[in-house]
Structure 1
């Protein structure tokens, strides 16, 4: 298994979404990719969600908050620069809870961020989700 770690310096949510989708298409064999990024204020919606049902597009537009569609399923998520995203991309049989915990810890180590991983795979700094 080979682990590659990518950090985006961009905070453009559309750009970061495009990078994640490109990495998803590039992974093969027994490679795992960890991709970390932060977004400017945005609401990210799943591929099948109707933005008029899950958020208020006119209000978001008036507040200069973009709506960005993910290529994956899931709910609407508000993000800003206080939120760090990490996508683990690879074969599902490699991505066990133990492997994911190790990847998360190893990913933040070069950033000099000491994390713990909760039972539901959230990264904690000083026992807090937000860091």
Structure 2
């Protein structure tokens, strides 16, 4: 087994590194640890926009990254440690999360924390979740990865993942927003993610005494950064990959009541209908047709609206007021 500690706090880099390692070490067992700067990591089969508070995420400059595995959206920051096990597929039951969460439970037991695996893939302490886990199988290997909330900013976590469920109608996997807690409430107050890294690695060495430390080479970093640029930083992967969905939002502005309905396929607006009690000098159907074929994404809508006189469709409005109806 190889023991890796990521040198980066970039969620783009660290999520990309998991995919890179699948091909870099096709048969080797790997234990990877990383800590991300503020970011939301969404499951592969989720509708990203339905999982996040987009306005808040943009305001706080929180990165949004889609991972390869399924499951729900999670919030990462510098107070959250992430662990990732890679092994040859078939050696462990794909539906069993207990094997690779046991080192975490053993570590916490030695620290006097009464943690346990509950349900299929969550680790809890006193009924509150501090770790969510997910799996994927690809290229003959399996990855099981999970979070450990140590001293994450719970207020930010709550706001960043506070999406409006009334905006979207889809069949995408939804996140289960259970009660969560930080482990710092059960540990010495000066405990750090680096401390947990050392303790958890020590647990791994108990069962894998021949494990070796491995540092990313310059070639590895270049390969990960290439994958990061070409996939994990792109709108197409993080938003456009979302399952098809219907979007609906109503807003009241000085010009009147406006209700926007969109059918979105792979992030692209395929159908648009706009209703309301506003007054317009041009038919609203003209604007609806201009929306077809563009991304349901703020930057592209900003470009479209900048080239239009929106007062001709809605009366006395600003582009920002109309843009709010598409978030």
What's the TM-score, normalizing by structure 2?
A: 0.32
1:35 aligns with 2:48: no
Which of 48, 51, 60 is the equivalent residue of 1:54? 51
Q: CA deviation at 1:45?
A: 0.3
Contact 1:12 1:39 in 2 (8 A): yes
For residues 35 and 102 of structure 2, what CA distance do their matches in structure 1 show?
20
The answer as to whether partners of 2:39 and 2:63 remain within 8 angstroms in 1 is: yes
1:94 is displaced (CA, Å) by 4.0
For 1:115, the equivalent position in structure 2 comes to 107
**1:44 counterpart (41, 45, 51):** 41
Report the counterpart of residue 109 of structure 1 in structure 2.
none
Question: Within the alignment, does 1:17 sit opposite 2:15 as a pair?
Answer: yes
Gaps of 5+ in 2: 110-114, 118-122, 124-130, 132-147, 151-181, 185-190, 192-327
| Whole-Å separation in 2 of the counterparts to 1:9 and 1:28 | 22
Once the two structures are TM-superposed, the CA of residue 48 in structure 1 deviates from its matched residue by: 1.5
1:129 lines up with 2:175 in the alignment: no
Task: Count the aligned residue pairs.
Answer: 117
| Length-normalised TM-score, structure 1 | 0.72
Classify 1:16/1:89 alpha carbon distance in 2 versus 1 (closer, same or farther; 3 Å): same
Structure with larger Rg: 2
Provide closer, same or farther for how the CA distance between residues 101 and 55 of structure 1 changes in structure 2, counting only shifts above 3 A: same
Counterpart of 1:86 in 2: which secondary structure?
Answer: strand
Structure of higher RCO (CA pairs closer than 8 Å, 6+ residues apart) = 1
Contact 2:80 2:149 in 1 (8 A): no
Q: Please give the alpha-carbon distance, in whole angstroms, between the structure 1 residues aligned to 2:61 and 2:100.
A: 39
Cα distance change on mapping 1:64 and 1:85 into 2, 3 Å = same
Aligned with residue 84 of structure 2, among 73, 84, 87: 87
Q: What secondary structure does 1:36 align onto?
A: strand
RMSD: 3.0
Q: State the secondary structure of the residue aligned to 2:83.
A: strand
- Match in the other structure for 1:69: 66
Q: Please state which structure has a larger fraction of its residues in helix.
A: 2
Conservation of the 8 A alpha-carbon contact between 1:47 and 1:70: yes
